[in-house]
Amino acid sequence: MNAASHIWAGEETETPWRFRLQEMAWRDLVDALKHDDLPFVGLWCDGTDVHALFLPDGQPLAATLALEDSRYPALSPARDISCLYERRIYDLYGAEGMWATDVRPLLDHDVWSSSMPLAEHPGAGGGQKGLIHFQPAEHMHQEGDMADGWGPATGGMEPPLHVALALREGRIRAAETVTGYAHRGMELRWRNSRVEDACKLSTRVAAGQSVAHQVAFCLAVEDACKEQVGPEIRLLRVALLELERICHHLFLLADMARLAGARLVASACMALRERLIQEAAPITGSRLLMDVCVPGGLSLRHATQMGDMCGRLCEVAERDYPALLALWQEYPGLSMQLAGMGKVTADLLERVGLDGPTARAAGWDCDGRRMMPGYEGIWRFTSGRQDGTTEDRAMLLLEEVGESLRMLDEVASRIGLTAGGSVQLSMQDSEGTGMVEGPWGGILYWVSLKEGRVEQVFARNPSSAALLTFEAILPGHQPDDVALLARSLDINAAALDQ
């Protein structure tokens, strides 16, 4: 009996793809997952139940278990990535994952005014009022001499997280991260909010991925309402997603080049990005592409000019993109430096469940755009990278910039003919999911609607899997490489901590 069959054997709920399990059936599910490759999306809690979401053949399948004495059997013995969700659930709700592989705090390091703030009865606040004191795991001491580590406040543009390092002969032997510095209480802010307010919150989960989060949220609400938008709205969303992908990739490439000492290359990346933004911002209404999507439609300043805008973006890039690609490939020592760093193996990707550019640069065929509405006949898989090094990731990003520009050119003549229109949604009590291939991998939203408002939101993004990948590839590198490796994996503390 495979893992999916254990879920389907559960009690049916009002949501056709979600089933309620008893504890013994949940334990059987955990055992089955140890030998099953059922794609795992995430784990979350609502204070009464714990929910696990999977994605067989691209379709949602969820298992629900009632908490008993604020406990539930953990999924982390079968899915490594689940340990981050379990730690988050305990910090927020006080619900303990039994037999969890990691029970360290993720968000609350004894500095909150109350512990377990989302539990029915929150606990007393921690007594720690100064800086967070890191307690390394026992294996860290065994691997080498403990160093102060990296972060959370470096004085630069790096994400706010602490990386503790165990060194031996100047090389990293083991690493552990401490997160929670960027926690903003998104889960509570989404709860019982108006749909339009919840959509604006989704825009602000992760900088550089605003459109992807908005579209995923909107798709989830539209799915819950059993509605679909028209073809032009789909294409307009595709254009916004690809514009965001270009801007994200160029910003990340600039950071990588700067940290590698190639400041001329970094300047060229940022110059092209700025020229594109200057063309797009007057039409979209936002340089950061925030608040451009709403459930059932779009919220653009000049939607009818989107087609012309895409054409102008391609004209700008036609002049500058080939020169940037040549500069990156020919800049002395840049490719050689990156080629020897940060190799991500297939075994690691499979263990942590990371998708997106990191996986594609290691030879995996995992681009969610092939299943997204609006991309039919536009998207094509182009990656030929196999080795999974930092250089492979950089070159893949450059190639994806070119591919996104091609898609913008293709849709330019098919959008902006009208304002796109909108679909009136009937907010019924229901659940829905929406998935988007964001700049750094799959972003999935589960949204529960009740009495015309958003009851609860769960947002899955690649940041959790990227963090585990980051910890795994650090051994063997020098401490000075940490910042560059973090950027090459787009470690996003805001998206992780929420």
Which pLDDT tens digit goes with each residue over 402-422? 999 999 999 999 997 776 677
Backbone φ and ψ for 51, nearest 5 degrees, come out as: -125, 140
Nearest partner of 116 among 138, 87, 144, judged by Cα: 87
Encoded tokens for 370: 């092939």
Confidence of residue 142 (pLDDT cuts 50, 70, 90): low
State whether 226 and 95 are in the same domain.
Answer: no
Question: What pLDDT does residue 104 have?
Answer: 86
Tell me the three state secondary structure of residue 459: strand
Question: What pLDDT does residue 398 have?
Answer: 96
Q: Among 151-155, 192-196, 424-428, which is the least confidently predicted range?
A: 151-155
State whether 301 and 426 are in the same domain.
Answer: yes
Question: What pLDDT does residue 419 have?
Answer: 66
Check pLDDT > 60 for residue 129.
Answer: no
State whether 321 and 416 are in the same domain.
Answer: yes
Which residues neighbour 291 within 8 Å (Cβ) at sequence distance 6 or greater? 199, 200, 203, 214, 285, 299
State whether 79 and 208 are in the same domain.
Answer: no
Encoded tokens for 436: 């988007």
Beta bridge partners of 424: none
Nearest partner of 422 among 176, 286, 227, judged by Cα: 227
Cα dihedral 468, 473, 478, 483 in deg (nearest 10): -50
State whether 336 and 433 are in the same domain.
Answer: yes
Check pLDDT > 80 for residue 124.
Answer: yes
Range of the domain at 396: 191-461
- Got the DSSP string for 344-376? --HHHHHHHT--HHHHHTTT----GGGGSTT-T
The number of distinct structural domains making up the chain is 2
Which residues neighbour 357 within 8 Å (Cβ) at sequence distance 6 or greater? 393, 396, 397, 400, 439, 440, 441
Confidence of residue 385 (pLDDT cuts 50, 70, 90): confident
Q: Report yes or no on 383 lying in a domain.
A: yes
Q: Report yes or no on 233 lying in a domain.
A: yes
Check pLDDT > 70 for residue 474.
Answer: yes
Q: End of a domain among 119, 136, 155?
A: 119
Q: Report yes or no on 161 lying in a domain.
A: no
State whether 234 and 335 are in the same domain.
Answer: yes
Confidence of residue 141 (pLDDT cuts 50, 70, 90): low
Q: Report yes or no on 421 lying in a domain.
A: yes
Q: Report yes or no on 312 lying in a domain.
A: yes
Question: What pLDDT does residue 158 have?
Answer: 75
Q: Report yes or no on 316 lying in a domain.
A: yes
Question: What pLDDT does residue 436 have?
Answer: 97
Is the distance from CB of 105 to CB of 176 less than 8 angstroms?
Answer: no
How far, in Å, CA of 172 to CA of 166, rounded? Answer: 6
pLDDT, mean of residues 196-210: 95
The pLDDT tens digits of the residues spanning 216-245 come to 999 999 999 999 999 999 999 999 999 999
The pLDDT tens digits of the residues spanning 273-311 come to 999 999 999 999 999 999 999 999 999 999 999 999 999
Q: Report yes or no on 175 lying in a domain.
A: no
Q: Report yes or no on 387 lying in a domain.
A: yes
Confidence of residue 110 (pLDDT cuts 50, 70, 90): confident
State whether 275 and 423 are in the same domain.
Answer: yes
CB atoms inside a 10 Å sphere around CB 117: 19
Question: What pLDDT does residue 443 have?
Answer: 97
State whether 225 and 111 are in the same domain.
Answer: no
Q: Specify the CATH number for the domain of residue 347.
A: 1.10.645.10
State whether 196 and 278 are in the same domain.
Answer: yes
State whether 201 and 57 are in the same domain.
Answer: no
Q: What percentage of the chain carries pLDDT values higher than 90?
A: 78
Q: End of a domain among 67, 90, 119?
A: 119
Check pLDDT > 90 for residue 1.
Answer: no
Confidence of residue 459 (pLDDT cuts 50, 70, 90): very high
State whether 229 and 336 are in the same domain.
Answer: yes
Which residues neighbour 326 within 8 Å (Cβ) at sequence distance 6 or greater? none
Is the distance from CB of 216 to CB of 205 less than 8 angstroms?
Answer: no
Q: End of a domain among 102, 119, 136?
A: 119
Give the predicted TM-score (pTM) of the model.
0.95
State whether 277 and 401 are in the same domain.
Answer: yes
Q: Specify the CATH number for the domain of residue 62.
A: 3.30.460.80
Check pLDDT > 90 for residue 380.
Answer: no
